[in-house]
Amino acid sequence: MQRLHTGVPRHVAIIMDGNGRWATARHLPRMAGHNRGMESVRAVLETCGRRGIEYLTLFAFSSENWHRPADEVSTLMRLFVSALQREVVKLVENDVRLRVVGERNTLDPELRRLIAEAEERTAANTRLQLTLCVSYGGRWDIVQAARAAAREQGIEALDEASLERHLALAFAPEPDLLIRTGGEQRISNFLLWQCAYAELYFTHALWPDFSAAAFDEALAWYAQRERRFGRTSQQLAANS
């Protein structure tokens, strides 16, 4: 799914990291950072609307995050529940379609019910495709897709295209830009398959501090990249 570089990414994926450190620096419980992070989600959503970005994928809770202390896990799950209860109306108003991807059977039935309801209520929306990755891991995604593809057509016929059709984000083009806040320079089991050719942007800003202006900076950086997909600069110039 390669395409010409137009300067504006069609698909932006974000590893929203640094909530805990933001709170700890203020002598607040880690949860205060997660709550505050919701404001950054709103700012990024608005910017996507303004800039014509079609797909936004947010890493909210990884397969590995289940290993955090039980009280942090349960308060995070409660935050997802209340965010869904509160925000879906705004998503409908703003023509945003919501999908939640990940290992759904690990989630609480009430959360699963709200997710299904939110997905249904926003299913006809087209302006922005918002995907939340919850209980998501890139390795889980590749394994479940490989299993489904093998079941469908047998292991011998399995190839890249048939596996891709079963990935959790099969409905979206590959991310053009992957942003990670919080200063770490790692993927932490996010979209392992889909980010093969994403431009990677790392910023020290902690997620609750990541403003619309910070997002615009990342987009300006992206616009300067030369995306070669294995080819040479001369080939790109000849084809443009």
By CB under 6 A, tell whether 9 contacts ligand IPE.
Answer: no
Which amino acid is present at 212?
Answer: A
- Binding to ligand IPE by residue 59, rule CB under 6 A? yes
Could you say which of 14, 15, 16, 17 contacts Mg ion (CB under 5 A)? 17
The one-letter code for the residue type at 219 is L
DSSP H/E element including 83 = helix 70-93
Q: Report how far residue 29's alpha carbon sits from residue 140's, in angstroms, rounded to the nearest whole number.
A: 31
The yes or no reply on residue 41 touching ligand IPE (CB under 6 A) is no
Examine residue 174 and tell whether it contacts Mg ion (CB under 5 A).
no
222, interface contact from Mg ion, ligand IPE, none, CB < 5-8 Å by kind: none
Token pair in block for residue 57:
């994928």
| Distances from the Cα of 227 to the Cα of 7, 143, 152, angstroms | 10, 28, 34
Catalytic residue among 17, 19, 141, 176: 17
Q: Kind and range of the H or E element at 199?
A: strand 199-202
* Residue 19 in the binding site for ligand IPE (CB under 6 A): yes
Q: Is 176 in the site for Mg ion (CB under 5 A)?
A: no
Position 130 contacts ligand IPE (CB under 6 A): no
- Residue 105 annotated among the catalytic residues of the structure: no
Return the bridge partners of 58, or none: 14, 132
- Residues near 77 by beta carbon (within 8 Å), at least 6 away in sequence: 107, 108, 111
Closest CA to 191 of 83, 29, 59, 27: 59
Q: Any catalytic annotation for residue 65?
A: yes
In whole angstroms, the minimum distance from the beta carbon of 16 to Mg ion comes to: 9
The answer to the question of residue 21 lying near ligand IPE (CB under 6 A) is yes
Please classify residue 34 by burial: count the beta carbons closer than 10 Å to its beta carbon, then call 0-12 exposed, 13-18 middle and 19+ buried.
Answer: buried
| DSSP notation for 127-168 | SEEEEEEEEE-HHHHHHHHHHHHHHHH-GGG--HHHHHTTST
Site for ligand IPE in 62-81 (CB under 6 A): 62, 65, 76
- Residue 127: count other Cβ atoms within 10 Å of its Cβ: 13
Shortest distance in whole angstroms from residue 133 CB to ligand IPE = 7
Query: 8 or 79, CB closer to Mg ion?
Result: 79
Smallest distance from the beta carbon of 132 to ligand IPE, in angstroms? 10
Binding partner at 186 among Mg ion, ligand IPE, none, C-beta below 5 to 8 Å by kind: ligand IPE
Residue 63 DSSP class: G
137 contacts ligand IPE (rule: CB under 6 A): no
Q: How far is the CB of 77 from ligand IPE (least distance, A)?
A: 11
- Catalytic residue from among 19, 65, 141, 176: 65
Report the catalytic residues. 17, 65
What are the residues binding ligand IPE (CB under 6 A)?
A: 15-21, 59-62, 65, 76, 182, 184, 186, 188
